[in-house]
Amino acid sequence: MLPVGVLMVEHRVIERMIKLWENELNRINATGKANSSFLGQAVDFMRTYADHFHHGKEENMLFALLRQKPLTGGLASMLDGLAEEHTVSRRTVAALAAANRDYAAGAEDALAAIRESISAIIRLYPAHIRKEDKQFFLPVMEFLTDMEKEKMLADFRAFEPSTHDTYKSMVFVMEQK
């Protein structure tokens, strides 16, 4: 298995969460109310699983090594673009968390900011994942030696293995509601 195989497996879990975000946005549009407890859990997923656990491996292990390589074919600028999208998603999730805090405290006008942030997440993530899966991950593997690939796969697998199981189960439970 290539190290990016691990990241692709994680993308499938993130996609399931994005589906739940879409459902929540539809619910908000239909009822005029947000579910603060769903939003709290979903923000925790985005911070812990998507950002710390998944983006953490991408940025600190994969992207960091690739920045030392003579990337060609637009891959270097694609790397910068992907890292920038991580920054945007971090900012969007922070805005959503703040809006949800206000909303849970009774500020109904925070609903507009909640809708805006969820829409931004839904716009950003599927395209980001598609770019990584279809245009970036496999071409960049050509720039790694076999030893680098083996080490990265081992490092990926060793990085907080329980986080994957915990958050995959959390998504499953949230899907049943």
* Distance in Å, CB of 4 to Fe ion, minimum: 9
Q: Provide the minimum distance between the beta carbon of 142 and Fe ion in the complex, in angstroms, as a whole number.
A: 19
Q: What is the 3-state secondary structure (H, E, C) of the chain?
A: CCHHHHHHHHHHHHHHHHHHHHHHHHHHHHHCCCCHHHHHHHHHHHHHHHHHHHHHHHHHHHHHHHCCCCCCCCHHHHHHHHHHHHHHHHHHHHHHHHHHHHHHCCCHHHHHHHHHHHHHHHHHHHHHHHHHHHHHHHHHHCCCCHHHHHHHHHHHHHCCHHHHHHHHHHHHHHHCC
The least CB distance from residue 42 to Fe ion, in Å, is: 17
Q: Which is nearer to Fe ion, 82 or 144 (CB)?
A: 82
75-114: contacts with Fe ion (CB under 5 A)? none
| Complex with Fe ion: residue 24 or 132, whichever CB lies closer | 132
Footprint on residues 46-75 left by Fe ion (CB under 5 A): 58
Which residues ranging from 114 to 173 are in contact with Fe ion (CB under 5 A)?
Answer: 132
Residues that bind Fe ion (CB under 5 A): 58, 132
